[in-house]
């Protein structure tokens, strides 16, 4: 038995193939706290939606990898006890080295992302192929990245340079690395300002013409979008009202994500839309209750606030009621 099956996690490759065939995208949600993962589980039960839960190496190093895996396992068990059979995968977000990915695989993750996008193409292919060769021994799915998103990512303080994905490079990357799915750069941006022009008054535009060209080059390969939070202004305002200091945010409009989910985009990553409400509510409750020492009050409020946010993602990604599919235990498909 694959280790991730022991913990109740689904094969990510199976999930992505179903999304590809049925034209929807799977919400891929970062977590690290119990209220975040509980809210994701609440939304899965309510919407009967598949979901990919994920965290970056920074977080599994901070909280110990055994703990975050068991948190995910407990969530899966609660969903099953509620009678919901929607598949749930555990994914490593932005592994930056072979060692990051190996650690995740060895501890029960069902998929890993190896981010070699900062490297020259040939080095990115080499690094990704090394991870693929190890991961496929355990039927673990691998996500690579070609092109790079600008903005600051949740695990890094560095602002990366934006580079759109070149369709010809994407084809070479998939063919030579044997990767199972790829994150592409087509206009989304990490961080709190997703407008590449730097204007807080202009909505970012996804290059759907580029998505189509990439899909034509690598048919049957699921595509992934990072940096897709909507960043509701009310949470920015709440944070700033209670002693925060955030500038205006520009998120990705729902209409763009609805359109993306109808393409070969099968996995859409959401991180900031979980962090922002959590921070905003924590600040508000602590400000209103300056004598509070028990975190239970704001944790309870965060869970209630996050559940409908995740449900909304499932609705616009069209994954609601897509919880059932034919499960297989085959090696993830790649272009060879």
Residue 166 has pLDDT above 60, yes or no: yes
Question: Could you tell me the two tokens for 2?
Answer: 């694959």
Output b/e per residue, 39-64; b: 16+ Cβ within 10 A. bbbbbbbbbbbbbbbbbbbbbbeeee
164 pLDDT tier (thresholds 50, 70, 90): very high
Supply the mean pLDDT for the chain. 90
CA pair distance 110, 10, nearest whole angstrom: 7
The pLDDT value given to residue 44? 98
Chain-centre distance of CA 88, in angstroms? 13
| pLDDT tens by residue, 186-202 | 988 766 655 444 444 55
Question: Could you tell me the two tokens for 198?
Answer: 């730097």
Question: Could you tell me the two tokens for 84?
Answer: 């919901």
Which residue numbers are catalytic?
93
| pLDDT tens by residue, 28-64 | 999 989 999 999 999 999 999 999 999 999 988 888 8
The pLDDT value given to residue 148? 75
18 pLDDT tier (thresholds 50, 70, 90): very high
Chain-centre distance of CA 51, in angstroms? 9
Residue 335 has pLDDT above 60, yes or no: no
The pLDDT value given to residue 113? 98
Beta bridge partners of residue 28, listed in sequence order: 52, 269
The pLDDT value given to residue 334? 39
The answer for residues whose C-beta is within 8 angstroms of residue 272's C-beta and 6 or more apart is: 154, 191, 192, 229, 231, 251
Question: Could you tell me the two tokens for 309?
Answer: 């946010």
Instruction: Please state the rounded mean pLDDT for residues 103-114.
Output: 98
Give the angle subtended at the CA of 5 by the CAs of 262 and 11, to the nearest 5°. 20
Percent of the chain with pLDDT over 70: 88
Predicted TM-score (pTM) of this structure: 0.91
336 pLDDT tier (thresholds 50, 70, 90): very low
The pLDDT value given to residue 248? 84
Residue 326 has pLDDT above 60, yes or no: no
Question: Which range among 102-116, 198-212, 310-324 shows the weakest confidence by mean pLDDT?
Answer: 198-212
Q: At what angle do helices 34-47 and 65-81 cross, to 10 degrees?
A: 30
Residue 77 has pLDDT above 80, yes or no: yes
Beta bridge partners of residue 145, listed in sequence order: 183
Do 267 and 19 touch, CB atoms closer than 8 A? yes
Residue 331 has pLDDT above 50, yes or no: no
The pLDDT value given to residue 270? 94
CA pair distance 207, 269, nearest whole angstrom: 17
Residue 315 has pLDDT above 90, yes or no: yes
The pLDDT value given to residue 198? 47
């Amino acid at each position: 038995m694959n280790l991730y099956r022991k913990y109740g996690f689904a094969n990510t490759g199976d999930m992505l193939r179903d999304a590809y065939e049925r034209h929807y995208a799977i919400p891929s949600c970062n977590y690290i706290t119990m209220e975040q993962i509980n809210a994701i589980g609440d939304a899965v039960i309510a919407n009967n939606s598949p979901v990919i839960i994920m965290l970056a190496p920074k977080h599994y190093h901070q909280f110990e990898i055994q703990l975050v895996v068991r948190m995910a396992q407990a969530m899966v068990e609660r969903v099953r006890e509620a009678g919901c059979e929607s598949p749930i995968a555990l994914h490593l977000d932005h592994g930056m080295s072979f060692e990051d990915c190996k650690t995740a695989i060895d501890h029960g993750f069902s998929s890993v992302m190896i981010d070699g996008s900062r490297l020259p193409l040939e080095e990115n292919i080499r690094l990704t192929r090394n991870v693929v060769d190890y991961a496929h021994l355990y039927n673990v799915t691998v996500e690579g990245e070609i092109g790079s998103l600008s903005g600051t990512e949740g695990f890094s303080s560095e602002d990366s340079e934006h580079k759109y994905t070149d369709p010809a490079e994407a084809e070479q990357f998939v063919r030579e690395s044997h990767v199972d799915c790829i994150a592409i750069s087509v206009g989304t941006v990490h961080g709190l300002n997703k407008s590449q022009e730097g204007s807080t008054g202009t909505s970012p535009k996804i290059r759907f013409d580029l998505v189509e060209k990439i899909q034509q080059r690598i048919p049957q390969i699921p595509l992934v979008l990072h940096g897709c939070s909507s960043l509701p202004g009310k949470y920015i305002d709440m944070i700033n009202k209670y002693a925060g200091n955030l500038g205006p945010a520009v998120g990705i409009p729902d209409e763009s994500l609805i359109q993306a989910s109808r393409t070969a985009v099968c996995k859409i990553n959401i991180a900031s839309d979980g962090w922002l409400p959590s921070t905003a509510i924590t600040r508000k409750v602590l400000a209103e209750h300056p004598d509070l020492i028990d975190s239970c009050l704001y944790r309870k409020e965060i869970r209630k606030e996050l559940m409908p946010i995740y449900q909304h993602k499932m609705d616009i990604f069209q994954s609601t009621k897509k919880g059932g599919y034919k499960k297989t235990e085959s090696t993830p498909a790649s272009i060879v």
